[in-house]
Structure 1
Amino acid sequence: MATTITNAEAMAVDLRGESDWTAFDAPALVGSSLRFVSGDPQGDRFRVRYYRDAAQQLKARVWFGPETEGPPGHAHGGSIAAVLDEVLGLSGWAAGHAVVVANLNVSFRNLLPLQTVVTVESEVVSINGRKVLVKGRVCSGSAIYAEAECLCIAIGQPKTSVAG
């Protein structure tokens, strides 16, 4: 049974980044295609805020609300995979590559309690022609909830191949 949050609880969701992170305007980069996961910043499903860290890697703070429930009191694995799809694909865009996700492999490590704010870390690890490989994880402190590897395919002209 999903729990309902009050307006006071909804306003209490803190998605601030770390002190060395800078805000990243994801919708300005890719437009309204971020509607599925991050389209309702005050909703009961997801709330997402994007950042770049000191190394310019894309990070996200994500709140998993009651509408993401799978196992009682915990986020559904599909909701975690959807967040990883958006963040890792966007990481390719933030690195300068217009991409679509071709393959996403997710390893679930721990149940993620509902109404938890987590960090999604991402890193572009290699670029080979049109193939952009991105890795990431959903974590909070030392807890790792999921890890993923994402093969993205550039839909525009490929950039020069670079090892990450």
Structure 2
Amino acid sequence: MTASSEEHAAGAAVDLSGAPDWTLFDAPSLVGDSLRFVSGQPDGDRFRVRYFRDAEQHLHARIWFGPETEGPPGHAHGGAVAAVMDEGLGLAAWAAGYAIVVGNLNISFRAMLPIQKVVTLESRVVSVEGRKIMVHGRLFCGDTLFAEGQCLCITIKKENQS
């Protein structure tokens, strides 16, 4: 199967390859078990996710929305899309060196996302002001934009870090 394949059988191998200039990013080694809701079952029927960084160190992900993400018939539930955006945009801040929690997440849903489809998440830190980190991202495949989001992240005070 190729990364451009649109349909995948549940339980079958899914190609989550990145672009040639991306390098694999080991997200769990950075943030530990906090990724278990979206990324916790790499062979499951909910989500399958692989993270990458590009030459500018921006975070990207290849994500498969499995049958357990279904909301409207044949399409991903908005909450599943929101969970992916929450993890991916928050992780972009962590990958940029900021230990954060999400303070506010705004998502604009642009198109219904078919299940059993591999899509790409692009995310990047766009501003830093004191403890406030603003991250933007978009979830797409080819020319189809499924969702875009803005995430206000707040750095964790050192006494709260473990």
TM-score normalised by length of structure 2: 0.91
How does 1:104-119 map onto structure 2 within 5 Å?
Answer: 104-119=105-120
Q: 1:128 to 1:64 in 2, by over 3 A?
A: same
Q: 1:126 to 1:115 in 2, by over 3 A?
A: same
Letter in 1 for 2:107: V
> Which position in structure 2 is the counterpart of 1:87?
88
Q: Secondary structure at the match of 1:78?
A: helix
Q: Secondary structure at the match of 2:17?
A: coil
Q: 1:29 to 1:56 in 2, by over 3 A?
A: same
> Which position in structure 1 is the counterpart of 2:144?
143
> Which position in structure 2 is the counterpart of 1:125?
126
> Which position in structure 2 is the counterpart of 1:50?
51
1:6 shift after superposition:
5.0
Q: 1:97 to 1:6 in 2, by over 3 A?
A: closer
| CA offset digits 1:85-144 (Å, max 9, x no partner) | 000000000000000001000000000001000000001000001000000010011110
> Which position in structure 1 is the counterpart of 2:69?
68
How far apart, CA to CA, are the structure 1 residues paired with 2:73 and 2:119?
19
% of aligned pairs identical? 66
1:5 shift after superposition:
3.8
Paired residues of 2:10 and 2:67 also in contact (CA < 8 A): no
TM-score normalised by length of structure 1: 0.89
How far apart, CA to CA, are the structure 1 residues paired with 2:119 and 2:141?
5
Given the alignment of the two structures, is residue 155 of structure 1 paired with residue 144 of structure 2, yes or no?
A: no
RMSD, aligned α-carbons: 1.2
1:18 shift after superposition:
0.4
1:72 shift after superposition:
0.3
How far apart, CA to CA, are the structure 1 residues paired with 2:10 and 2:48?
15
Q: Secondary structure at the match of 1:86?
A: helix
Query: Where in structure 1 do 4 or more consecutive aligned residues deviate above 4 Å?
Result: none
Paired residues of 2:106 and 2:151 also in contact (CA < 8 A): yes
Report the number of matched residues: 151
How far apart, CA to CA, are the structure 1 residues paired with 2:88 and 2:138?
10
> Which position in structure 2 is the counterpart of 1:161?
none
Letter in 1 for 2:78: G
How far apart, CA to CA, are the structure 1 residues paired with 2:152 and 2:10?
39
How far apart, CA to CA, are the structure 2 residues paired with 1:38 and 1:90?
12
How far apart, CA to CA, are the structure 1 residues paired with 2:10 and 2:124?
36
How far apart, CA to CA, are the structure 2 residues paired with 1:87 and 1:42?
19
Q: Secondary structure at the match of 2:44?
A: coil
Instruction: Return 5+ residue gaps in structure 2 as ranges.
Output: 1-7
Q: Secondary structure at the match of 1:18?
A: coil
How far apart, CA to CA, are the structure 1 residues paired with 2:131 and 2:111?
33
